[in-house]
């Protein structure tokens, strides 16, 4: 029974780390966008500079989707290990065997969870890139 609990603890640590990575990516997204807009503002808000914020937004969106997909795989592994007999514990951390039981990575990227954060962020970046240069502060 100790082996099973230890294995579940290992898996839970991976799940926690994936969740932390996802949280950090959202923070970095906002930080980089604000920094790029601040830089664009020092360059008289030229559209080229403000459009640079699109790159980290899209990149972090895809990376966040990857982490969320991995988290879902490890949750399936956790479920599997929790129902496994304590004598059959092999400490395998291979979660890819469950890839057919979780949504595809791209579907995770366009899930409600990520769309509610990155969708408005992307819209704000595009609108700010198009509207702010016309305001002539």
**Does residue 62 surpass a pLDDT of 70?**
yes
Q: State which H helix or E strand residue 104 sits in.
A: none
pLDDT tens digit string along 80-137?
Answer: 999 999 888 999 999 999 999 999 999 999 999 999 999 999 999 888 877 766 665 5
Give the H/E segment covering residue 20.
helix 2-42
The domain in which residue 94 lies consists of: 2-135
Our count of domains for the chain comes to 1
Model pTM above 0.75: yes
DSSP 111: S
Residue 73 and residue 96 in contact, taking contact as beta carbons nearer than 8 Å: yes
């Amino acid at each position: 029974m100790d082996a099973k609990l230890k294995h579940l603890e290992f898996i839970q640590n991976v799940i926690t780390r994936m969740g932390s990575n996802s949280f950090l990516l959202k923070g970095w997204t906002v930080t980089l966008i604000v920094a790029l807009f601040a830089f664009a503002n020092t360059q008289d808000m030229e559209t080229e500079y403000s459009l640079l914020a699109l790159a980290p937004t899209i990149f972090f969106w895809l990376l966040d989707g990857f982490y969320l997909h991995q988290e879902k795989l490890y949750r399936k592994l956790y479920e599997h290990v929790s129902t496994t007999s304590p004598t059959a514990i092999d400490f395998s951390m291979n979660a890819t065997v469950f890839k057919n039981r979780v949504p595809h990575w791209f579907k995770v990227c366009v899930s409600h969870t990520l769309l509610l954060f990155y969708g408005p962020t992307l819209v704000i970046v595009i609108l700010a890139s198009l509207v702010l240069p016309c305001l002539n502060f």
